[in-house]
Amino acid sequence: MEKWLAAALDYLPRWIEYQMLATEQPGCAIAVAHKGKVVLEAAFGHADLKRGTKLTPRHRFRVASHSKTFTAAGIMKLREAGRIGLDDRIGRHVEGLHPAVAAATIAQLLSHTAGLVRDGADSGQWTDRRPFLDEAALRADLAHGTMIEPGTRFKYSNHGYGLLGLAIEAVTDEPYADWIAREIVAASGLDETAPDAAQGLAAPRTAFARGHSAKLPLGRRVVIPGDNPTHALASATGFVSTSGDLARFFASLGPAAKQSVLAPASRREMTRRLWRDPHSSIERWYGLGTISGTLADWEWFGHSGGFQGTITRTVNVPTHELAVSVLTNAADGSSHAWLDGALHLLRAFSRHGAPSRKTAPWNGRWWSLWGAVDLLPMKSLVLVANPLLPNPVQDASEIEVLGRTRDGTGIGRVALAGGFANHGEPVRLVFDGRGKAKEFWLSGGRLLPQAKVEKELFARYE
């Protein structure tokens, strides 16, 4: 493992832990894979607030629309075997459909450009007001035909992926859950992943992260069971998994992956940017079962998911062979923001390198009345990060370490900062007699360890 990556992984859990405290989220699990190997797994908070169950990396989450990537991989594997084609009309494999629906191609269904209804006339399955649809209910919704002209724009459809599940059943002459579990999940070496709750939570001692509502409107969170079966929509939203397994699986879809259930050509086809999200302030594209975008100069692909009380997201950064998965178990879960923040952190360490002997002592979390800052030492500079931000290194001041005084105090200067900050001003790091840093001066501002600031605030204001 590169030294910069090890340094980034040392800080990443500390930042997530701070975010958890600040946002009062129920739970979060995170995993990072590098070159196909999981190099970080961590969990914070609770799997079930009502019972007080602590969350662990082994707890399985409902990962919802991550299911689409597994389904797309299944279609591509059948395509490699010559059993289905991207240009095939869905009506060739699934009989009894409305003519306009039957004319949709497999590629259009995979890329959400078939013009189909998103969730049907009554989408109460998403608000826990009705069960997820069986095949008869799915077909009944699709009997009305298409909503817009196929092939004209990206239009997300869970029902479309339900149809792809039926296509897999027709081609393989097996239940979707059985075939996908064997040919994609097991073949990818995933031990904690299953296509629906019935399979994924079958073992009596399987650890499962319950969903939670937002605090509003009740003023408190309630626990959402989240173990309901998804029936004919398992191919769109049924999967249960862990952050570690998702990081492994999405790592295997990278073009440079050494082990994968798919040939490189299929992986490139799945992750290629095909359709831009036309009405979004965030620049995102959809391929075949994958979402893609760019964060700064890092291009990524992956998928996200939202189940009742669970928000999750996983991405792969091919140029660095990194996969990151962040799972949260609340309806207002911060997985999207935290995953972006994790990428910003990884990118910062990648650009600036691992701490050197000169910068390494400049580290730790430092507090004042205004909150905390984190010193992040890198090869030739130290970043002053804000752990409260979704991107902790956003506009971070850069410290140049100059050396030490005779009494051992570290001295430096703010080499780069915003116009409202302390650009060009001195900084110092003061050590006690045992060589432990005891205070950090950012120009004229004195910052201390958490315990000292707690005592100070209590004495002054309480």
pLDDT at 65 over 90: yes
Give residue 386's pLDDT band: very low, low, confident or very high (50, 70, 90).
very high
Q: Give the Å distances, CA to CA, from 312 to 17, 63, 112, 378, 413.
A: 17, 6, 20, 30, 40
Instruction: Taking the CA atoms of 96, 101, 106 and 109 in sequence, report the sign of the dihedral they define.
Output: negative
HEC per residue, 407-431:
CCCEEEEEEECCCCCCCCCEEEEEE
Mean pLDDT of 75-81: 98
Per-residue tokens: 133: 């649809």
Residue entry with tokens 């002054």: 460
Mean pLDDT of 288-314: 98
Bond into 217 cis (ω within 30): yes
Question: What pLDDT, on the 0 to 100 scale, is given for residue 332?
Answer: 97
Question: What pLDDT, on the 0 to 100 scale, is given for residue 1?
Answer: 82
Question: What pLDDT, on the 0 to 100 scale, is given for residue 212?
Answer: 98
Kind of pairing between the strands at 53-54 and 37-48:
antiparallel
Question: What pLDDT, on the 0 to 100 scale, is given for residue 242?
Answer: 98
Question: What pLDDT, on the 0 to 100 scale, is given for residue 74?
Answer: 98
Mean pLDDT of 256-265: 97
Rounded-to-integer distance, Cα 351 and Cα 335, Å: 24
Residue 441 backbone phi and psi in degrees, to 5: -105, 115
Rounded-to-integer distance, Cα 228 and Cα 93, Å: 28
Task: Specify whether the CB–CB gap between 214 and 275 falls below 8 A.
Answer: no
pLDDT at 201 over 90: no
Question: What pLDDT, on the 0 to 100 scale, is given for residue 200?
Answer: 83
The C-alpha angle with vertex 96 and arms to 94 and 101, in degrees rounded to 5, equals: 75
Give residue 272's pLDDT band: very low, low, confident or very high (50, 70, 90).
very high
Give residue 231's pLDDT band: very low, low, confident or very high (50, 70, 90).
very high
Mean pLDDT of 221-237: 97
Buried b (16+ CB within 10 A) or exposed e, 34-47: bebebebbbbbbbb
Give residue 198's pLDDT band: very low, low, confident or very high (50, 70, 90).
confident
- What one-letter code names the amino acid at 406? R
Question: What pLDDT, on the 0 to 100 scale, is given for residue 286?
Answer: 98
Rounded-to-integer distance, Cα 71 and Cα 112, Å: 13
Write out pLDDT tens, residues 356-375. Answer: 999 999 999 999 999 999 99
pLDDT at 205 over 80: no
Rounded-to-integer distance, Cα 195 and Cα 398, Å: 47
Rounded-to-integer distance, Cα 413 and Cα 408, Å: 16
Question: What pLDDT, on the 0 to 100 scale, is given for residue 203?
Answer: 78
Contacts of 240 (CB under 8 A, 6+ apart): 60, 61, 62, 63, 193, 194, 196, 197, 200, 201, 208
Find the largest Cα–Cα distance for the chain: 85
Question: What pLDDT, on the 0 to 100 scale, is given for residue 322?
Answer: 98
HEC per residue, 199-218:
HHCCCCCCCECCEECCCCCC
Mean model confidence pLDDT for the chain? 97
Say what the pTM is. 0.97
Strands (E), 178-297: 211-212, 223-224, 240-241, 275-276, 284-286, 291-295
Contacts of 199 (CB under 8 A, 6+ apart): 177, 181
Per-residue tokens: 261: 């259930």
pLDDT at 211 over 80: yes
pLDDT at 117 over 90: yes
Determine how many CB atoms are found less than 10 A away from the CB of residue 210.
25
Mean pLDDT of 145-160: 97
Write out pLDDT tens, residues 413-427. Answer: 999 999 999 999 999
Mean pLDDT of 173-193: 98
What percentage of the chain exceeds 70 in pLDDT?
100
pLDDT at 394 over 90: yes
The length of the chain, given as a count of residues: 462
- What one-letter code names the amino acid at 134? D
Task: Specify whether the CB–CB gap between 300 and 279 falls below 8 A.
Answer: no
Residue 317 backbone phi and psi in degrees, to 5: -105, 95
